[in-house]
Amino acid sequence: MTLVGKKAPNFNAPAVVNGNSIEQNFSLEQFVGNKYVVFFFYTKDFTFVCPTELHAFQSKLAEIEARGCAVVACSTDTEESHFSWLQMDKNQGGIKGVTYPLVADTTKSIATNYGVLAGDYDYNELGELVAEGPMIAYRGLFLIDKEGIIQHALVNNLPLGRNVDEAIRVLDALRHVEENGEVCPANWTEGEKAMTASFDGVAEYLSAN
């Protein structure tokens, strides 16, 4: 079931912040009433597609933060693994220089609550608890508004990296809707004409485009 339109599941978990320190009880609640949040899951530390995404978000971090939005990443690795990867240079496959928080979902409860865990727990014929699937996170991305409500969700399978510019475009659209009371049509980007949520508004927009 989609989480769009619902309160973002809260959590308290360890996270590496500013690329150099571990915060034991990191929570998204700190942003409610204050900032939008782009919260995204990646599959594993020390892998291949993941560092390209993490660096891509870092390269656009100033643009995102200028829009009153925080970026937070999460995987099922430990905080110690996150920290070690953050010490490795980019030309060696590391993510040194990433400054936004990396949450450690070691219990896999965060990925489960957001519906992005690739795998599940079950019992075998002996009654033993077993894991079915890799038990890591799909590439989920959630845009959370200032009230803590999820307004946009995207989930990619493990090999498919995401487009950071698209995340920014959707953030711009959300901000435009909130500030102007208009709706944003297909392929809308900041600075383009939006439209009113009415048949007349649709007709006017389509005739002009």
pLDDT computed for residue 158 by the predictor: 97
* Catalytic residue of the set 50, 69, 74, 184: 50
State the pTM of this model: 0.94
pLDDT at 135: 96
Residue 156, pLDDT score = 98
pLDDT at 74: 98
**End-to-end Cα, the chain, rounded Å:** 35
Query: Which residues of the chain are under the pLDDT cut of 50?
Result: none
Domains of the chain: 13-162 (3.40.30.10), 163-209 (no CATH)
Rg (CA), the chain: 19
CA trace torsion 43, 91, 37, 32 (10° rounding): 100
Q: Quick check: is 184 catalytic?
A: no
pLDDT value, residue 25: 97
pLDDT of residue 171: 98
Query: What pLDDT sits at residue 197?
Result: 87
**8-state DSSP, 91:** G
Q: CA nearest 95: which of 103, 82, 80, 85?
A: 85
